[in-house]
Amino acid sequence: MDDLVEVSVPCGHGCETALLPACRLNGVYRSQLPEPAPDPSACVRDALDAPIGAPPLEQLACGKRNAVIITSDHTRPVPSRIIMPQILERLRRGNPNIEITILVATGFHRPTTREELVAKLGEEIVLREKIVIHDGADQSMLVKLGVLPSGGELIVNRLAAETELLVAEGFIEPHFFAGFSGGRKSVLPGVAARRTVLANHCSEFIRSPFARTGVLEKNPIHRDMLFAAEKANLAFIVNVVIDGEKRIVRAFAGERQKAHESGCAYLRSLCGISVPASDIVVTGNGGYPLDQNVYQAVKGMTAAEAACRPGGVIVICAACNDGHGGEAFYRNLAEAATPRELLDRVAAVPRDRTEPDQWEFQILARILEHHTVIVVTRECSHKMLNEMHLHAASTLAEALGEATRLVGKSARVAVIPDGVSVIVEKIQPMEK
């Protein structure tokens, strides 16, 4: 009898586990982030004391009448309670009279509620500071700054464009089409107009082989974002790298591009994994809160896509308790006869006609054209998943059984427990 090994993948607030013959397991692949900083506040303070490529915040604040700090919204696990007080203190240390506005970067998301602001920033900051929620559809909030390299209009929040000092906080993680999060993304998509975001996320750019996890060079989406940050005059960033428990591992502060590139290089050295091209790849979205819907789960699927051989099976453990995550996302997939039909239709959409959520259903259709995808969930309608050309299972064991039935009893399996935390390099398959 074959020896069995237990594999475990975060899902919702818990984990999905299953037993697998050891002879079929190619390996379990994780990022190699170190232990979190023993004192996260000191970690941020040290970064602010020695900024990369820029003067200290205190010096930048001197002589400025006002400053805007871009903060991520409720959908991003940025530890703002630790970062924001230090940014505020440094600005006022350099200039006690500076007028500060905190601008919440909602991008394409719904407005952040007061309760979510308190959870993110703390009651004291919410009560004391001036906070504005960005709305990319409110023309009164927006101003045009030019034309992106892609040809789309660059329209951003007026507060960000007209302040004398623009600062941003955020976090850096692998991103499935921008290469990495953080840095320039605070401006685009963070505080940009909706039509600017749509132009940047067009089908042509999403199709680019350079619009992939961990790739910045030649990435057309990244190029637009850099341009937007430059035109908005983003002067200083404070970005952190966090672990799976959302704890600060390392902080980077300074000039928008140099500090961000330093953080990306650090993360790339720890998150890069080499995975044999596998018949079945099991992954997840890191559990709650990033696996609450199918829309977000696509991010984890892209890690499995990079490791799975053509015709193989991707198994993703994602609670999806909020369902599909977007009506347009669901409808476009459900109404398409095949993933290829959807891809052909999207390819014909001009940059200036990009639809909301188009990039997400385009990427999922790309994955589905070459792979069967099984979603492991007990909290989401299996019927709805089937309508979206996805398969569904209630347990990881059930999903692995179905995957084995599809590709054979000798199928080799790779396990990537947290697909959103890694940068996958596929290597030649192992011998069976």
The residues annotated as belonging to the active site are 109, 175
Asked whether the beta carbons of 260 and 268 are under 8 A apart, the reply is no
**How many Cα atoms occupy the beta-carbon half-sphere of 48 within 13 Å?**
25
Beta bridge partners of 361: none
- By CB atoms closer than 10 A (0-12, 13-18, 19+), residue 97 is exposed
Task: Identify which of 279, 287, 282 has the alpha carbon closest to the alpha carbon of residue 304.
Answer: 282
- Tokens for 41, please give them: 């506040």
CB atoms within 10 A of CB 71: 26
Asked whether the beta carbons of 10 and 287 are under 8 A apart, the reply is yes
Angle at 242 between CA 359 and CA 320, to 5 degrees: 45
- Tokens for 253, please give them: 């502060």
> Residues with Cβ < 8 Å from 352, sequence gap 6 or more?
152, 195, 198, 199
Q: Residue 199 and residue 203: Cα distance in Å, rounded?
A: 9
β pairing state of 153-157 and 142-147: antiparallel
Q: Residue 383 and residue 392: Cα distance in Å, rounded?
A: 8
Which residue is it, tokens 């209630």? 394
In one-letter notation, the amino acid at residue 97 is N
DSSP string, 365-393: HHHHHH-EEEEE-SSS-HHHHHHTT-EEE
Q: Residue 204 and residue 194: Cα distance in Å, rounded?
A: 18
> Residues with Cβ < 8 Å from 220, sequence gap 6 or more?
149, 150, 204, 205, 208, 210, 211
Chain centre distance of CA 52: 24
